[in-house]
């Protein structure tokens, strides 16, 4: 595997389900990000992790719970979601420390909440 991978690619869940999204980066980066992409809206940054530590939580509801066990893996645990949470969830990684550094994105997980 190369770059940034995300699983699953598609997920349909009910409002009472609990599921997790997984992201893995194979680039040796030390910063990882979760973004939400909704139709007709700019990408919204949700969480940032630097060296496994959460450095930004962009006022995300507690029904989204991130986990970063190491610099290569990032999870987004989902529970009691709402239909408006349906969106494309993108993971990205970069080498932290320099804002010039490119963020590399995964293909995303298309989430549908029924």
Partner 1 sequence: AQTVTQSQPEMSVQEAETVTLSCTYDTSESDYYLFWYKQPPSRQMILVIRQEAYKQQNATENRFSVNFQKAAKSFSLKISDSQLGDAAMYFCAYRSGNAGGTSYGKLTFGQGTILTVHP
Piece in contact with partner 1 (CB under 8 A), picked from 19-27, 61-69, 76-84, 85-93:
85-93
**105 forms part of the interface with partner 1 (CB under 8 A):** yes
Among the listed residues 28, 42, 69, 83, the single contact to partner 1 using CB under 8 A:
42
**48 forms part of the interface with partner 1 (CB under 8 A):** yes
- Number of C-beta neighbours around residue 53 at 10 A: 8
Burial of 14 (0-12, 13-18, 19+ CB in 10 A): exposed
> Which residue's CB is nearer to partner 1, number 45 or number 60?
45
CA gap 114, 102 in Å, rounded:
35
Burial of 61 (0-12, 13-18, 19+ CB in 10 A): exposed
**Residues making contact with partner 1 (CB under 8 A):** 31, 33, 40-43, 45, 48, 50, 55-56, 88, 90, 92, 96, 99-100, 102-103, 105-108
């Amino acid at each position: 595997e190369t770059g940034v991978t995300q699983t699953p690619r598609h997920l349909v869940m009910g409002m009472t389900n609990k599921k997790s999204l997984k992201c893995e980066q194979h680039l040796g980066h030390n910063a990882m990000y979760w973004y939400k992409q909704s139709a007709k809206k700019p990408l919204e940054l949700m969480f940032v992790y630097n060296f496994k530590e959460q450095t930004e939580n962009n006022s995300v509801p507690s029904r989204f719970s991130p986990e970063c066990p190491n610099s290569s893996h990032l999870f987004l645990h989902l529970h009691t979601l709402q239909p408006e949470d349906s969106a494309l969830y993108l993971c990205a990684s970069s080498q932290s420390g320099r804002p010039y550094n490119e963020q590399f994105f995964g293909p995303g997980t298309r989430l549908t909440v029924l």
